[in-house]
Amino acid sequence: MEEAGVKGLLCGLPLYEKLVTGSVECKDGEPVAVVSFDEARGRYLVAGASLKQDDVVLRTDTFERGILGNYKKRVCSFCFKDAKKRLHIHCRDCEQAWYCSEACREAHKRSGGHSLLHCKILSGFGSSKFNGDMESIIKILLAVLLKRVEAEPSRRGGGGGTGYELFNHLQSHADDLLPRSKKDLKDACSFLRKQMQRHHEEAPLPLDELVHHASRIESNCFGIFEEAAEAGDQGPSTSAEGGEGDAPRGEASGGVNGSSQQQRGPQRDVMLGREVYLEASMFNHSCEPTCVMSRSSGACEVSLLRDVDQGEELTISYIDETKPGAHRRKELKRNYHFDCHCRKCELDLLALRGGKKYKHLHKKKAKKKGKGRASKEGSAGSGGGAAPPAMNFESQVDQAMQKFLAL
């Protein structure tokens, strides 16, 4: 890996530099986002120049996306438009792809998104026993594996035009999953592996590698929500859902644990599917993000929420950062498998520790007051001097925060 500071969005991955040509916005001829690296955070993005609020950092198209099994018969497999009712046009061979029009069905075939091999493998999904949420992960995984097949000639020549090689560098959290969640993911990948063995002569990847691929999707995907899907009348419509390091790990995607990344804005209750953006997966999370991601029609744009200096880290929020600290920590740990150490979370923890410390001291003082000479001397008419008033909890927290900010 090249040293940090080299120009280019994916400077740490020089073999795939051509893959993102045109994806990174430039300012005065220089890229506005640069990959950096350290042992603690892995790869992360920093500003390549001094940038202003609302400047666009990244524009890119979706790598792959999939519809949740519960909605596959009402959301078009090509344009992702939500019909709000059961669709009537579908692939009669696999019974897994449904469309809003004949034009979308034909366009899906021409684009390679529903090839003959893809259709044959999907035909066995009717017997699968995983839930609709898992189904979307496995269908995206199938599309990724087929990209690997397409990439084989170019990989021999040192290329990676399908994006599979870059996908392979996304962060996997398969080893961090709870035993039950990992088993569910492993069972689903085992099902897919058997389907591929039936219809494709190439030896499939080992099961453990497939599990890590599925985890890369679950950890780095963004949710497609009902509200945003309604807005797209001219193509794929999505709304704005890696831990640290390689994930837009924003609130959107569901996962093995029902996780979801989601962009800033109104709460969206109904998630129709999920999608993966390779370049956007380079943004780390912060509860005080410098950037916001917006998505529609299968494309995403990341812009600045405030001015940033050259070299400052560019971050997005994977969750609703307006929620209380305890809720944020729980969601990030459960869905993205990391502890956030941003300034906002550190202040929340400092305030929490201050509160616990105060309660502990208060209990000790109350216990002393109930018996012994201190209680008598403090009683009315004792003649003893009044003790200075104890600092209240709010003052303690305020004082602790001031000391923290002064460090």
Quick one: 243 and 353 in the same domain? no
Return the sign of the alpha-carbon dihedral for residues 130, 235, 148, 199.
positive
pLDDT computed for residue 156 by the predictor? 41
Quick one: 352 and 335 in the same domain? no
Q: Which long-range contacts (CB under 8 A, 24 or more apart) does 165-168 make?
A: 165/15, 165/16, 166/10, 166/13, 166/16, 166/19, 166/278, 167/63, 167/213, 167/216, 167/276, 167/278, 168/213, 168/216
Quick one: 208 and 353 in the same domain? no
Quick one: 271 and 195 in the same domain? yes
The model's pLDDT over 119-172, given as tens digits with 9 standing for 90+, comes to 999 999 988 888 888 999 999 999 999 988 776 654 443 344 567 877 888 888
Quick one: 68 and 53 in the same domain? no
Residue 5 inside a domain? The answer is: no
Which residues lie closer than 8 Å to 275 by C-beta, 6 or more apart? 62, 63, 64, 65, 66, 221, 222, 224, 238, 253, 295, 298
Which residues lie closer than 8 Å to 58 by C-beta, 6 or more apart? 9, 23, 24, 25, 33, 279, 280, 300, 301, 302
Residue 20 is part of which domain span? 14-58
Quick one: 117 and 32 in the same domain? no
Helix (H, G, I), strand (E, B) or coil at 243: coil
Which has more confidence, 32 or 94?
Answer: 94
Quick one: 19 and 135 in the same domain? no
Quick one: 63 and 85 in the same domain? yes
The model's pLDDT over 251-297, given as tens digits with 9 standing for 90+, comes to 333 333 333 344 444 445 688 999 999 888 888 999 999 999 988 87
Quick one: 126 and 201 in the same domain? yes
Residue 112 inside a domain? The answer is: yes
Q: How many whole angstroms separate alpha carbon 394 and alpha carbon 391?
A: 8
Residue 375 inside a domain? The answer is: no
Pairing of strands 56-61, 221-225: unpaired
Pairing of strands 64-67, 315-316: unpaired
Contact yes or no for 228/237 (Cβ under 8 A)? yes
How confident is the model over 76-102, as a mean pLDDT?
94
pLDDT computed for residue 152 by the predictor? 60
How confident is the model over 50-70, as a mean pLDDT?
89
Residue 149 inside a domain? The answer is: yes
Into how many domains does the chain fold? Answer: 3
pLDDT computed for residue 298 by the predictor? 84
Q: Is the pLDDT of residue 233 over 80?
A: no
pLDDT computed for residue 26 by the predictor? 63
Quick one: 90 and 107 in the same domain? yes
Quick one: 293 and 314 in the same domain? yes
Quick one: 70 and 171 in the same domain? yes
Q: How many whole angstroms separate alpha carbon 384 and alpha carbon 367?
A: 20
Residue 2 inside a domain? The answer is: no
Residue that terminates a domain, selected from 339, 355, 377: 339
Please provide the DSSP assignment of 256-303 as one string: TT------SSS----EEEEEE-TGGGGPEE-SS-SEEEEEETTEEEEE
